[in-house]
Structure 1
Amino acid sequence: MSEVDDRIARVAFGPDGLVPAIVQQWDTREVLMLAWMDAEALRRTLTSGRVTYWSRSRREYWRKGDTSGHIQIVKGAKLDCDGDVVLLEIDQIGPACHTNTRTCFDSDTSRPEVGDRDLHPVVG
């Protein structure tokens, strides 16, 4: 078994055969997007150096940047402690979001409506 196959075997894919992939700019740690991968998309990503995803709506593979030119170059990949989420550390060329923005997480910012007392519960 290759090193890539060994890494893929450790992933806890969901019942649909998919795992969420959080995409992060490798040097700034900015979270850019979330997408889905199956074992083949992850294999293509780890062996090609470019990120491939599984489109749940189109039911097909798509390699980020093939039509837009906004490619993602793989710098690293990690599994979370349960093995059910992949963190892709990438170098994003151009916008990451399909709306042509840098990140998919910039449209609505909310802060919790809690006071200081709610943040520091009394223990005892």
Structure 2
Amino acid sequence: MQKAWLNQVKFDAHGLVPAIAQDAESGKVLMVAWMNAEALAETASTRRAVYWSRSRNRLWRKGEESGHTQEVHEIRLDCDADVVLLLIKQIGGIACHTGRESCFFQRLDNDDNGPHWKSVEPVIKDPKKIYL
């Protein structure tokens, strides 16, 4: 049985809503993922981030393989009720599967060679050592 608050979320045709994970202290956006109603309900009840993995077609409990879990301090819904914002504490300091703090580590630079993406954040831990 769905909770009334879940019925207020506008999930897309696939039953998903985008979820932004933002560091509760620094305000830095760490990642964007997808949630279905089950993932959002579990996140709300456990205060641990749970997403829907489109590639695996199943629930993805953040950190289940890497140990880099997300403690959820607040859950917010945008004005159109179609985007969720999680204010989180990133355990282990790594949110990205590339071993970086944030998935948003590439910046569009423009120089003599024209526009190109440049990695501007360091790898904190080699992914090969995270995902054994």
Residue 92 in 1 paired to residue 113 in 2?
no
CA deviation profile, 1:14-56 (whole Å, cap 9, x unmatched): 0110000011000111000000000000000000110110000
Residue 13 in 1 paired to residue 6 in 2?
no
Larger-Rg structure: 1
Alignment TM-score, normalising by the size of structure 2: 0.78
The alignment-based identity, stated in percent, is 51
* Structure 2 spans left out of the alignment, 5+ residues: 111-132
Match of 2:102 in 1: 103
1-structure distance, mates of 2:45, 2:75: 12
Q: Which 4+ residue blocks in structure 1 deviate beyond 6 angstroms?
A: none
Between the two proteins, the alignment pairs up a number of residues equal to 109
2-structure distance, mates of 1:63, 1:32: 16
Task: Choose which of 64, 76, 79 in structure 2 pairs with 1:78.
Answer: 76
2-structure distance, mates of 1:79, 1:8: 11
The alignment yields a C-alpha RMSD, in angstroms, of: 1.6
Alignment TM-score, normalising by the size of structure 1: 0.83
Match of 1:46 in 2: 44
- Greater relative contact order: 1 or 2 (C-alpha under 8 angstroms, separation 6 or more)? 1
CA-CA distance at 1:106 after TM superposition: 1.0
- The answer to which structure has the higher strand fraction is 2
